[in-house]
Every structure is written in C-alpha cells, then in structure tokens.
Amino acid sequence: MKTRLRRAWPYFLAVGPGLLAASAGNDAGGIATYASAGALYGYGMLWAMVLITLFVGVVQEMSARMGAVTGKGFADLVRESFSLRVTTFILFTLFIANAGIIVSEFIGIAAASELFGISRYISVPIAAVFVWLLVTRGSYARVEKIFLGLSLVFLAYIGAAFLAKPDWHAVFRQTLVPHLRFEVGYLHLLIALIGTTISPYMQLFVQSSVVEKGVTPDEYRYTRFDVIVGTLFAGIVAAFIIIATAATLYPKGILVTSANDAAQALEPIAGPYAKVLFGLGLLGASLLAAGVLPLSTTYVMSEAFGFERGVSRTWEEAPIFMGLFTGLVLLGAVLALIPGLPLIRVLVGVYVLNGLLLPIELFAMLRLVNDRELMGEHVNGPVYNALAWGIAWLVSLLSLALIVLTVLGWFGVGPG
C-alpha cells in the first residue's frame, strides 16, 4: 500500500497547469455559454459536453506533449517550422481569438459590477487601470490567487444543480445519446461551446508552463495525468452549470440575456445571495483573465516576432511590447463600454469566433505534433492521430456549416 502511494505521489505533485488551464475555460464567456445552453436547450446539449471534454483532453494532451518533447512554446514552434507568411497568419488568428476573449473579460467585469448596482462606466475604466498597473508594476502575482479563489465560487453550480432536483433520468439519457440539430441557433451555441472549452490560450498556457518547468519526456506521464484530471474537472463543472440552468431556467422559459439571469440558477443553493455569489465569482474570474491574457498574448507575439519584451522594460526599451499590452487592455475596456451592448450575446459571440478560428490552430498543431524531426518517437500513434484529425475536421465542418447556414439565413433561405 505504501509503495503504491509513493508511486502515485508524483502524479499529484504534477497537478497544476493542466487543471488551471482547463478551469480557465470557466470564465465569464464560459459561464455565459454554458448557462445559455442550459436555458435554451435544457439538457439537450449535455451529450456535446461529453464529446467536447474528450476533444479538450486530446488537444491539451498534444500541447503538453509538444512542450515536454521540444522544450518550446507553441508560437516558437510555429515560427521555427512554418514559413513566415503562414506563421503570421496562424499568430494573427490566435491574436484575434485572444483579443476577443479579453473583450469578454471586461464585459464580465461590467456585468459583475452591474449586479452590485455599480455602473460599468465606473467599474470598467477602474478595472482597466487597476489591471494595467498591477501587471506593469509587477505585483500581479500577489493578487492572482485572490482572483483565482473568487472564481471558485462557480463550483456552487454543482450544489445548485443537485438542489434544483433535476430529472436525473433525463440528464443521463441526454448525456449519453447524441442528437444534432441543424439550426443556426443550435449550431451557433454548439460552436460557442467548442470555442469556449477548447480556447487557443489554454493550449498556449499548458504548453508554455510545461516548457517553463522543464518537464522532460520521461516525466511527461505525470503531466499527462494533470491534463486529464484538469480536463475532466472542467468538463464536470461545465456540465453542472448546464444542468443547473436547465433545471431552473429552462422550464420557466427564461433565456440568459443578462448576468442576472445566469445568477438565478444559483438560487437553489444560495437563495437571496445568488446574485452576490455569482457577481463575486464573475468578478474574480474576469479580473484574473483580464490581467493574464493581455500579458501572455503580448509575450507570445513579441517572442515569435523577436520584439524586445518584459514588463520591467520601459516604453523606450520595448515600445511594441508595452504598446501591444496597453492596447489590448484598452481595447477590452473600450469595447465593453459601448452603450447598449447585449452583454451575454457578445460573450457567446466571442466564443463562436473562437470556435470558427479553432481549426486553423488545430491543423497547425497536428502538423507540428506529427513532425518526426521535432517529436521523434513521440509523434501521435495511428489511432490517436485518427482521433485528433477527426476532431479537427469535425470542428471545421461544424464551423463551415454555421457559416453556410448563417449566409443562407441572410438571403432568407432556411433549412426548412
């Protein structure tokens, strides 16, 4: 027993980056997307979460493996393996995807503050200045854990789901039996689900943390354990958010159009405090990502193109780095302040965009992970590879289907 425990120990020590990366998917946009799915289609999208969780696992695992084998981050590998034009294209799509998510984090801040009755015209500018100062003054690491702690509030959805007394029979049936609907609304939300669960920044994060730690191919099995645990955990939390909203909002026909609606699903567990609880969680998750994402995006771009970088640099020393970082924070804050912005719809929209851009990243990743000169014996095995390619094509086809259906919709042609 003791030796078994000792052998298991390194696995638990390795839990960290994979868990954190996967949980990061449960941010403002993630909550909005999952809550919308539950409110609109009840348990009808649970089956998709099972598949998407498998997808996330496969994609995250490939990222972590590339990091462990090559010792390099994704952007580095792209720049060193693809032509400059292809590199620019891939990194541009990553940039757009991340910029969209940064906007969504500031929208999350806006929505959270409005739950507390504070106008977003006050909270968002303050948050932007706050985040900018924290990061450039180098004190971000100190508050990071507080934000992370706040975002754990979303675990309350698990309790809420149980207390809402869902029809467990229906839950299990809908989880196990896939059924796809070819409607714009359904596909839209399905792609948003994929986009929020498999966000490029999660892969960038997990790969770079493996590289930072200097994980070797020999130690990789511990990292893989971390990735699997993280993926399962995030998938379960997401599924419970869908169950909670499906059990509370769906029967009443409440659509999630504001943070207030999403907070209602917490009422079974938090009663009158549902709004406060939800608001705190949303604020924590959004502030966490609002600092990390602009900075890591700026690092990725600066490293790939070789610009001088580092938060301790001055504007004269690293103009592009500082400019890009400041620009991203500013962009997020300004867009979140557009008057009359339908917050939840924009949040979901950001992840639709993410889902549409995802195939580009997936195909690039598949090329790299199967490059023998880079990966040696650690390229994908045949079955695994078929699965990975299948995922990439499936996501591409769904994205294409959404684009076609949307365009047809503009001309008033429906699929019936």
Instruction: Give contact residues for another protein (rule: CB under 8 A).
Output: 71-73, 76, 79-80, 84-85, 87-88, 135, 137-142, 144, 208, 211-214, 292, 295-296, 299-300, 303-312, 373
Residue number, 288 or 405, with CB nearest to another protein: 288
Q: Percentage helix, strand, coil, to 5, in the chain?
A: 80, 0, 20
388: its two tokens: 């990975």
Distance CA 230, CA 134 (A): 28
Residue number, 62 or 304, with CB nearest to another protein: 304
124: its two tokens: 């968002």
Q: Residue 191 belongs to what H/E stretch? A: helix 184-197
The least distance separating another protein from the CB of residue 295, rounded to whole angstroms, comes to 5
Distance CA 297, CA 332 (A): 13
Residue number, 135 or 274, with CB nearest to another protein: 135
The least distance separating another protein from the CB of residue 71, rounded to whole angstroms, comes to 4
Say if residue 9 is exposed, middle or buried (CB neighbours under 10 Å; 0-12, 13-18, 19+).
Answer: exposed
Distance CA 98, CA 172 (A): 34
- 245 within 8 A of 38, measured Cβ to Cβ: yes
The least distance separating another protein from the CB of residue 157, rounded to whole angstroms, comes to 28
Residue number, 296 or 385, with CB nearest to another protein: 296
By residue count, the chain amounts to: 416
Distance CA 95, CA 244 (A): 33
Distance CA 125, CA 106 (A): 9
Distance CA 156, CA 411 (A): 44
- 261 within 8 A of 111, measured Cβ to Cβ: no
The least distance separating another protein from the CB of residue 79, rounded to whole angstroms, comes to 5
Say if residue 2 is exposed, middle or buried (CB neighbours under 10 Å; 0-12, 13-18, 19+).
Answer: exposed
Residue number, 279 or 291, with CB nearest to another protein: 291
271: its two tokens: 């009663």
The least distance separating another protein from the CB of residue 306, rounded to whole angstroms, comes to 3
- Greatest Cα pair distance, the chain, in angstroms, is 68
Residue number, 311 or 334, with CB nearest to another protein: 311
The least distance separating another protein from the CB of residue 283, rounded to whole angstroms, comes to 20
Residue number, 275 or 313, with CB nearest to another protein: 313
Residue number, 292 or 324, with CB nearest to another protein: 292
The least distance separating another protein from the CB of residue 284, rounded to whole angstroms, comes to 17
Distance CA 346, CA 82 (A): 33
The least distance separating another protein from the CB of residue 12, rounded to whole angstroms, comes to 13
Residue number, 226 or 261, with CB nearest to another protein: 226
The least distance separating another protein from the CB of residue 357, rounded to whole angstroms, comes to 20
